[in-house]
Structure 1
């Protein structure tokens, strides 16, 4: 379970586009779309209302993790996010490298330099193990 929470934290950081420690409705919609869900603005607002317990209009990491236990109308968010992490971990070793992120975004048609992907992973890698 601990590793799953760590993976969920890494997903949170990856989708916190502006690195401010919170997820906006737009960032949450991006998460859902990247997981293959077509979400309306109303659905995203409902998810934000459900998860945003302090009503500041943002999801903190704690609120985001708590959403895992509450579930959503979109299904088991935690399972979906775990699947997203596993999709990033191309060789299945439990570690996402800059090269794996680069390969994934390139395959999606997104043009991000390898060096930037490596920097993103280095930023997210709290324990420095790659």
Structure 2
């Protein structure tokens, strides 16, 4: 995944992705299976149905062998897929270690990111729960907004102007900035479903 830290955009390294993968690969057999996903979900007090867990795996399991390989997991992270498993991976990443210290990001950029991240704390307990992160990352952006962002980026409207309009219309500032950056990088193939 990429994280915007002010002027620094951090691309998650292969090593960082592997660390997260190993949290999920409890059996240490090189794949993530149903039981492992269920155990990780249980660790964050999330108890979905059997079918929901199967659907979570199926969305990432591109070769349809019933398990998630490191390659499939890494692709999910690199493509910033908005899916339950990626939200869980993001949560476990921050649950396990301080953000981005291994990526050589300046301390002030990290503190800025942490401040933005903490805006997800909905109950004021100075903790971002899995549910807080889940609701933030799984929010669906209406197609009309995605089209509006694309059209205005294409027309060359300044990022600050787009950001101001989006925040005035209820977007979280960090989410708005990420949408603008992702649209500039990926064009119209941006997808949040």
Could you state the TM-score of these two structures normalised by the residue count of structure 1? 0.55
Q: Per-residue deviation at 1:39?
A: 1.6
Q: Per-residue deviation at 1:20?
A: 1.2
- 5 Å matches for 1:51-66? 51-66=60-75
The separation in 2 between residues aligned to 1:3 and 1:83, in whole angstroms, is: 14
- 5 Å matches for 1:1-130? 1=2, 2-3=11-12, 6-68=15-77, 69-72=80-83, 74=84, 77-89=85-97, 94=101
Gaps of 5+ in 1: 96-130
Residues 32 and 61 (structure 1 numbering): CA distance in 2 closer, same or farther, change over 3 Å?
A: same
SS at match of 1:30: helix
Higher Cα Rg, which structure: 2
Residues 66 and 37 (structure 1 numbering): CA distance in 2 closer, same or farther, change over 3 Å?
A: farther
The separation in 1 between residues aligned to 2:15 and 2:37, in whole angstroms, is: 19
Residues 33 and 94 (structure 1 numbering): CA distance in 2 closer, same or farther, change over 3 Å?
A: farther
Could you state the TM-score of these two structures normalised by the residue count of structure 2? 0.40
Per-residue displacement from partner, 1:74-113 (whole Å, max 9, x unpaired)? Answer: 3xx4354233222222x66836xxxxxxxxxxxxxxxxxx
The separation in 2 between residues aligned to 1:35 and 1:56, in whole angstroms, is: 26
Residues 7 and 27 (structure 1 numbering): CA distance in 2 closer, same or farther, change over 3 Å?
A: same
Greater than 4 Å deviation, 4+ residue runs = none
Total equivalences in the alignment: 91
Residues 71 and 13 (structure 1 numbering): CA distance in 2 closer, same or farther, change over 3 Å?
A: same
